[in-house]
Amino acid sequence: RGGTAEREVPFAQPGSLTRVYAVASGKGGVGKSSVTVNLAAAMAADGLKVGVVDADIYGHSVPRMLGADGKPTQVENMIMPPSAHGVKVISIGMFTPGNAPVVWRGPMLHRALQQFLADVYWGDLDVLLLDLPPGTGDIAISVAQLVPNAEILVVTTPQQAAAEVAERAGSIAVQTHQKIVGVVENMSGLPCPHCDEMVDVFGTGGGERVAEGLTRTTGAQVPVLGAIPIDVRLREGGDEGKPVVLSDPDSPAGAAIRAIAGKL
């Protein structure tokens, strides 16, 4: 588009009615993207207007999990995001050919995020979810600069080692003066398909530990919003682009995520 002036990020304007949640994790593979996509689909199914920014620039997986195979189009000088299951979504993967890796440095990441937030036509959203890359990287800082009012949602597994890293990722909120809305514990045990017992594959207590740690470091009460069990249907839903909250809303994982969505 003409000119070099950057558009303002609408979600950061005073009076914006959009709730913005940045979904963060310490490590990769804990289910951050799965949680983001399912929360978005659950909220959209509840009638909310929802958008997702796949800000996990190097590990972008949101469009596939959401079954969003459309391409963004350009109308005048705005980018129109494709949508799936009533959720508008934009991802760097939509702008790179094939499965090409993204090799960018911090300033380019910042610019891409700026464009995703300001140059994409989101309309009036009730909720915008940002799927952050794992860890405490450039993008988390960029989010804090571009949307200071974004609240952080921390995803961890029950495992001690994962919880420690997740707490570190969450504690960036102290420096950026952001609010942590809560902690989601994912992969919280595997309900045995043959009996009623729960197999604690990754141990227990990680969500509580992260919430307590972040309550201490931030000085504000950080709740555990819920625990999501290991569920084959959640993984299948991600692979097939049909979030489990829609395909099997009453499955253990589907019900757990819908309950969390209800708290946001």
Binding-site residue positions for ATP: 26-33
- CB closer to ligand ADP out of 223 and 241: 241
Nearest-angstrom CA–CA distance, 77 and 96: 20
Q: Contact, 243 vs 66, CB < 8 A?
A: yes
Find the shortest distance in angstroms from Cβ 179 to ligand ADP: 22
Nearest-angstrom CA–CA distance, 82 and 231: 28
Which tokens in the block code for residue 242? 């049909």
SS (H, E, C) 102-114: CCCCHHHHHHHHH
Chain contacts with ligand ADP (rule: CB under 6 A): 25, 28-34, 61, 186-187, 228, 230-231, 234-235, 238, 253
Find the shortest distance in angstroms from Cβ 219 to ligand ADP: 27
Instruction: Cite the annotated binding site by residue number.
Output: 26-33
- CB closer to ligand ADP out of 80 and 153: 153
- CB closer to ligand ADP out of 9 and 53: 53
Nearest-angstrom CA–CA distance, 44 and 15: 22
Find the shortest distance in angstroms from Cβ 252 to ligand ADP: 9
C-alpha closest to that of 223 among 263, 262, 258: 263
- CB closer to ligand ADP out of 80 and 251: 251
Find the shortest distance in angstroms from Cβ 61 to ligand ADP: 5
Find the shortest distance in angstroms from Cβ 18 to ligand ADP: 23
Query: Within 13 Å and on the Cβ side, how many CA atoms surround 34?
Result: 30
Length of the chain: 264
Nearest-angstrom CA–CA distance, 69 and 71: 7
- CB closer to ligand ADP out of 119 and 200: 200
Q: How many CB atoms lie within 10 A of CB 217?
A: 16
